[in-house]
Amino acid sequence: ESYRDTALRRTASQTPALALKAVIYDLDGTLLDTEAISTQAIQQVLDPFEKTITWEVKRQLLGLPAPSWTKIVVDELGLTKDQLTPEDLASGWEANLTSP
């Protein structure tokens, strides 16, 4: 056994393991209501095109992955692919969610 292997083994044996007692997944918005933030991020992408996301459109999106809901938004709001593609909507939405 090399010096490095011995050092790594000792370090690992002296490092306490992280003891997880529970993990909570909030996939449906039960704990955190992020719908308003998500809607605002979508609207920021749509503003340059003078389009507004309405509840009638928004309710069609709930629970769908980005490749599906972005196509619905582009189609429902009458945007052409020259104006905004579903992929551009998704990347703009994500950028708006992660920007301060």
Residue indicated by tokens 């582009």: 74
Query: Pick the catalytic residue: 5, 28, 33, 88?
Result: 28
28 is catalytic: yes
Query: Pick the catalytic residue: 26, 33, 47, 75?
Result: 26
33 is catalytic: no
Name the 3-class secondary structure at 42. Answer: helix
Q: Closest Cα partner for 86 from 74, 96, 94, 97?
A: 74
Q: How many CB atoms lie within 10 A of CB 15?
A: 8
Q: Catalytic site residues?
A: 26, 28
